[in-house]
Amino acid sequence: MKKMTNNEKIIGLVLEALALPFLVIVAILLNMPNKDLGTITILLIIGIFIFIPGLILVAISHLPKEEEKQKNA
């Protein structure tokens, strides 16, 4: 597996930060009395498709450190 660079970890964090406003707006819209499910669904899909790749990039960046510990043991 290729080692992750700091740039990829930063990109993952930026993607997560960009997705959070979408997810917050979805939570606010779901609490309103007049729910437009079409808009909520589109915003939720956009938020998820931005958040998950960011989460994956950040999570994978921790794997090489664990592999190096196993090699040293």
Contact 54, 13 (CB under 8 A): yes
Give domain limits for the chain.
17-62
Cα 15 to Cα 73: distance, rounded to the nearest angstrom = 35
pLDDT greater than 70 at residue 15: yes
Q: Model's pTM, two decimal places?
A: 0.72
Give the model's confidence band at 14: pLDDT under 50 very low, under 70 low, under 90 confident, else very high.
very high
For residue 35 the two structure tokens come to: 């729910």
Cα 3 to Cα 1: distance, rounded to the nearest angstrom = 6
CA distances 57 to 28, 30, 62, Å, are 28, 29, 9
